[in-house]
Homo-oligomer: A and B are copies of this chain.
Amino acid sequence: MTAITDSSPETDPGELTATIDALAAAAPALASSSPMARAQALTAVADALDASVDELVSLAHDETGLPVPRLTGEVARTTGQLRLFAGELEEGSWLDVVIDTADPDAKPLPRPDLRRMQVAAGPVVVFAASNFPFAFSVAGGDTASALAAGCPVVVKAHPGHSATSRRTAEIVVDAWEGAGMPAGSFALVEGQQAGVTALEHPAIAAGAFTGSESGGTALARIAADREVPVPFYAEMGSLNPVFVTPGALAARGDAIVAGYVSSFTLGVGQFCTKPGLLFVPRGHDLDERLAAAVTEVEPARMLVARIAEANREGQAALSQVPGVRTIAAVATEADAELFGGPLLVATDLDTLLEHRDALLSECFGPTSVLVEYDGPQGALAAASALQGTLTATIHAEEGETAEVAPLVQLLRDRAGRLVWNGWPTGVAVSRAMHHGGPFPATNHAAFTSVGGSAIRRFLRPVVYQDYPAALLPPALQDANPLGVLRRVDGEFTRASI
């Protein structure tokens, strides 16, 4: 295994400036390229990455220690994302076309002919994540959705997988430009200062980020404090609470133990959807089974030394909170600086509420907290104490739906995805997916970083008023040459006008 540090060479400032100048120069051509041409180019990128899967997985395995099967699946997910956006471009509803034809009799003012569609927001800087060297990195969902929108992209590579990032970027550039997309409309830069400088560059119109709450919040403030503020979409920390009802506990305690331990230790706990909290009825009698399941999980290499160190520090802090007991801990050897072993601690609701700063902080790694609660009111009190989260899960039986309805309501106010009798890890990439949630899950709960709607972060509407046919984009022309679904005078139709 390659030795990993958290630093990577900084892109030379002059090269960075040239990269962003090229990005800005490519923006008009990319924005006015046809959606079909972008769909074909995204598909070409997907095909090229698939063709290089062995090389890419090998590089990423060396750099991240993630298992080959997981990385192979992640490449498939990544190319699936690229093809999902290609399909969305062809389908066309992302254009959000709304047309109100002229109404000279409208009150209080005559209404002109108004035709609205989505256009590219402009050049985007993407901050790649540590934990997904493909799916949330160089050619990941942020890049795919921004390119789909017609926005040039500069990716700031994560230092945990520099070689993988560089090789991926080469493949993307070749396939993307080879498919006719403007030269310079996709680029990779490296280094923390390069990322900040890119975000501060006047040509940049938006940013996207996946990572820690501290990193996302700091970059969001930089975006907001620019002379010309730009939107910044940060997907950050999340506790992903899971609530188990008495009925579910009685009916399938063993399955819940197995599913929970598997979910919070999957990928050495390095998922933003890792269940960090399990709420179970007091008197659950799960300790032994949980301890047995957790101790079967071997310590494993984590992504970078900084993450492994933070996990050990977080575990130590959790264990020391008064009123917290350890159900199971698998120690790592002292010299295994990159390794992390699982830790499961338990406490009760009163302790959780008393020490909420310590117990309601995300510990990124194979670490989780079991919390014992009393009755439905206890579950509601627990839910009320939670901050925003990407997901919230309930395990319950069919006969308990009426009883848990108030809990669903409370969790909905705090989460972007509500999971029933499942586990939050394993995010399906599909049109309906929402991977977002109230702060600190994200900094703007209206947007998702996974699924077809992720494109919306990189679009803005423009309305044409009384424009001549010759100057209207195809999507807005009477004949509807793209055949997209449009809302015309209030009605949805694919018909011409």
Distance in Å: Cβ of A85 to nearest Cβ of chain B: 13
Which chain B residue lies CB-closest to A229?
B443
Which of A28, A74, A444, A471 is the most central at the interface, judged by chain B CB atoms within 10 Å of its CB?
Answer: A471
A:52-80 near B, CB below 8 Å: 73-74, 76-77, 80
Contacts of A111 in B (CB 8 A): 428, 430
Q: How large is the interface on A (under 10, 10 to 19, 20 to 34, 35 or more residues)?
A: 35 or more
Is residue A413 contacting chain B, with contact meaning CB distance below 8 A?
yes
- From residue A486, how far is it (CB to closest CB) to chain B in Å? 10
Q: Check if A432 is an interface residue, CB within 8 A of chain B.
A: yes
Asked if B28 and A401 make an inter-chain contact with CB atoms under 8 angstroms apart, the answer reads no
Q: Which residues of B contact A419 (CB under 8 A)?
A: 465-466
In the bound assembly, the distance between CA atoms of A18 and B80 in angstroms comes to: 51
Q: Given that A32-B409, A417-B465, A462-B412 are contacting pairs, would A485 and B492 also be in contact in the complex, using a CB cutoff of 8 Å?
A: yes
Can you name the residue of chain B whose Cβ is closest to the Cβ of A473? B412
Does the CB pair B434–A462 fall under 8 Å?
Answer: yes
**CB-contacts of A194-248 with B (<8 A):** 205, 217, 220-221, 224-225, 228-231
* Copies of this protein chain in the complex: 2
Question: Is A378's CB within 8 Å of the partner chain B?
Answer: no
A408 at the interface (CB under 8 A from B): yes
A464 touches B420 (CB 8 A): yes
User: Given A99-B432, A224-B221, A428-B106, do A446 and B418 touch, yes or no (CB 8 Å)?
Assistant: no
Contact of A98 among B106, B221, B229, B453 (CB under 8 A): B453
Q: Could you say which residues of chain B place their CB within 8 Å of the CB of A364?
A: none
- Distance, CA A448 to CA B439, complexed state (A): 23
Bound Cα distance from A221 to B226, whole angstroms: 11
How far is A316 from B205 in the complex, measured between Cα atoms in Å?
34
Contacts of A99 in B (CB 8 A): 432
Interface assignment of A140: CB less than 8 Å from any CB of chain B: no
Q: Which of B220, B402, B463 contacts A416 (CB 8 A)?
A: B463
A108 within 8 A of B: yes
Interface membership of chain A positions 400-430, coded 1 if the CB is closer than 8 angstroms to chain B and 0 otherwise: 0110110011001101111111100010101
Instruction: For A446, give its contact among B31, B229, B456 (CB under 8 Å).
Output: B456
| Beta-carbon nearest neighbor of A417 in chain B | B463
* Beta-carbon contact of A80 and B108 below 8 Å: yes
Assembly CA distance A73 to B221 (angstroms)? 41
CA distance A283 to B421 in the complex (A): 75
Q: Is A302 located at the chain interface by the 8 A CB criterion?
A: no
Nearest-CB residue, chain B, relative to A109: B426
Are A412 and B119 within 8 A (Cβ)?
yes
Q: Which residues of B contact A485 (CB under 8 A)?
A: 492
Interface bits A451-486 vs B (CB < 8 Å: 1, else 0): 011001101111111111011000000000000010
Q: For A468, list chain B residues within 8 Å (CB).
A: 398, 401, 420
Q: Which of B116, B122, B408, B470 contacts A432 (CB 8 A)?
A: B116
- For A471, give its contact among B31, B405, B428, B448 (CB under 8 Å): B405
Query: B420, A448: Cβ atoms under 8 Å?
Result: no
For residue A223, which residue of chain B has the nearest CB?
Answer: B224
Are A93 and B487 within 8 A (Cβ)?
Answer: yes
| A438, B453: Cα distance in complex, Å | 21
Most chain B Cβ neighbours within 10 Å, of A27, A417, A464, A465: A465
User: Are the CB atoms of B462 and A114 closer together than 8 Å?
Assistant: no
B428 touches A445 (CB 8 A): no
Q: A77-B108, A460-B445, A462-B416 are in contact. Are A433 and B467 (CB under 8 A)?
A: no
Among A98, A404, A459, the most chain B Cβ lie within 10 Å of the Cβ of A98
Q: What 12 new A-B contacts, CB under 8 Å, besides A93-B487, A99-B432, A401-B471? A: A77-B109, A80-B108, A93-B492, A98-B453, A114-B430, A116-B432, A119-B412, A220-B224, A221-B224, A231-B446, A420-B468, A438-B460
9 contacts between A and B (CB under 8 A): A74-B108, A93-B492, A106-B428, A398-B468, A418-B465, A420-B468, A434-B463, A446-B459, A492-B492
